[in-house]
Structures are given as C-alpha cells and as structure tokens.
Amino acid sequence: MISVGIDIGSTATKAVVFDGRIIGKAMEITGWDPKEAGYRAFRGALDIAGITEDRVGPIVGTGYGRISLPILTGKVTEISCHARGAHHLHPGTRTVIDIGGQDCKVISLSDDGSVSDFIMNDKCAAGTGRFLQVMAGILDATLDELGALAAGGEPVPLSSMCTVFAESEVIGLLARGTGKENIAAGIIDTIARRIQGLAGRVPFLETVTFTGGTAQNPHICRIIAERLGTRLHVPLEPQFVGALGAALIGWED
Ligand code: ADP
C-alpha cells in the first residue's frame, strides 16, 4: 500500500510518498495558486519515488490550501498531522512546537500520541516565519544569515511582537547605530517569547519536538530551547513533518 500526504501551507507545499517508509518527497513554493502547487508537489514526490499515480491509495491533504485539491481522498487538520508526524519520528513526543510561514502553534499530546490540547496563533504574523522574513529583509540578510548574526549578539528587547510595529522599531534601532547582531538576536528572542507565551497555556511536557520551516535554523532552535528551558528535538527535515503525518494517517486508515 502506498499513501501520499500533501501539506499545502501558506508559504510552501510539501508532499511525502509513504509505503511503510518515506520513498519520495518534494516541495514547491505555494504562491498564488495552491491547487497547482499541490499537483506539482504530488507529481514531484511520485517522480522521486519512481511510481505512477495509479499505484497510490489514500491521498491525504492538510494545510490551509487543502480545500483546493480535488484529488484528495481525505483532509485532516495541520494539528493532527504535525502531531502524527512528530510522534512517528520521535515516539516520546508529548509537545509539538510548529512555526510555519503564517502561523505558530503548540500542540500537547497524550502518551499514546493523540492530541490532547493545542493553542495556535493564525490571526497575525507575530511569532511566525513571516515575521522573520520581514525582519531579515530590513537587515538585508537571508534567514540563515539572520540566525548566524543572532548567534554573535546580545538580544535588544523589542517592545512589540506585532510585525508592523517591530518593523518601525528595528528601523529606529538601526538609525541609532545598534549592531545588527544584537537586533537579530532581539528579533529571534521575540519569536521565542511568543512561543513561550503560547506554551504556558497548554500542558507542556517533554519530549518537545520542533517542526515547520523555521526549525531548520539551528540558531532559532537554540534560542527557543533556552527561553523554554527545555531540549528541543528537531527532525532531520522539520518542514515535511505535516505532510508525513498526513501520509501516515492515510496509510493507517
Ligand atoms: P507553511 O506550511 O505555512 O508554508 P513551512 O512550515 O513550510 O510553513 O515553513 C515556511 C517558513 O519557514 C517560511 O516562512 C520561512 O520563514 C521559514 N524558513 C525556511 N527556511 C528557514 C531558515 N533557514 N531559517 C528560518 N526560517 C526559515
């Protein structure tokens, strides 16, 4: 049996082909056409796996764009998919932190891996990848460079978590000659404080697994781990965890 999970996120669309193990995966920019991105990621992952569409059983979609893809045999929330994927990769997982392009969430799991509670910010860009992208743009840095800068800095406290206000604040700090390193450290600490605020509102037990595109940045992982006072388990490819969870849910049904 072969299943496919497709996670159509706000920024990136990910697909995973699963037959008991991951045999193919692909990622596409979501852009303005989530349906087309979903098809491209689906076909790309099948090509990598070396299989044709007629051999695929369940195709489970997740992410905000899942409503747009007619080929899906099932649709599941990102909460369930991140929980399922994280629990598969790190079986002791009791908490998942997911920071994607336009939302962030903290998910509590029971010891059997089922979701027991969650909290999510999808109303504004605070604490999300989008916040980081805007701030990196002001510092004229890539996301990787932002992390590397932060590693050598002392965080300047930013008073606002709101992307619009923080943008003005960072521009003001640069004008006053504050070092980019210290601003970068302050930017990432702002994300960490946002996550800390969410984490305090649901049961927060170890093992903690960090998923989503932002978890690819080791400096962000370190700063969040320090602020939360816990070790973070980061999968090898954290951006694919939601798509993997969707594929697993399809495979097990
Ligand atoms: P979504 O599912 O909402 O599209 P993803 O989990 O795919 O979100 O993550 C996309 C986000 O990951 C982007 O908004 C970007 O900010 C972030 N990201 C990607 N690579 C890096 C990196 N190296 N450092 C920090 N953030 C990153």
Task: Give the distance (Å) from ligand 1 centre to CA of residue 217.
Answer: 9
Span 21-72, pLDDT tens digits = 999 999 999 999 999 999 999 999 999 999 999 999 999 999 999 999 999 9
Displacement of CA 126 from its chain's centroid (Å): 14
Shortest-distance atom of ligand 1 to CA 143: 24
| Helices and strands counted in the chain (H then E) | 8, 10
3-state secondary structure (DSSP) of residue 188: helix
Encoding tokens for residue 102?
């336009």
3-state secondary structure (DSSP) of residue 206: coil
Q: For the whole model, what pTM was predicted?
A: 0.96
Nearest CA to ligand 1 atom 16: 129
Nearest CA to ligand 1 atom 27: 214
Q: What is the pLDDT of residue 124?
A: 85
Please list the ranges in the chain whose pLDDT falls under 70.
Answer: none
Q: What is the pLDDT of residue 125?
A: 84
* Mean pLDDT score of the chain: 95
**Ligand 1 mutation pick, 11, 97, 194, max ligand atoms within 8 A of CB:** 11
Q: DSSP readout, 57-123? A: --EEEESGGGGG-TT-SEE--HHHHHHHHHHHHSTT--EEEEE-SS-EEEEEE-TTS-EEEEEEE-S
Q: Please tell me the distance from the alpha carbon of residue 10 to that of residue 52, in angstroms, as a whole number.
A: 27
Say how many CA atoms lie within 13 Å of 41 toward its Cβ. Answer: 33
Shortest-distance atom of ligand 1 to CA 129: 16
Task: Give the distance (Å) from ligand 1 centre to CA of residue 4.
Answer: 21
With a 6 Å cutoff on the Cβ, whether 199 touches ligand 1 is no
Contacts of 248 (CB under 8 A, 6+ apart): 3, 5, 18, 84, 85, 88
H or E segment and range at residue 45: helix 34-49
Nearest CA to ligand 1 atom 26: 214
Q: What is the pLDDT of residue 37?
A: 97
- Could you tell me the domains of the chain? 3-78+241-252 (3.30.420.40), 92-234 (3.30.420.40)
Q: What is the DSSP letter of 6?
A: E
Task: Give the distance (Å) from ligand 1 centre to CA of residue 82.
Answer: 15
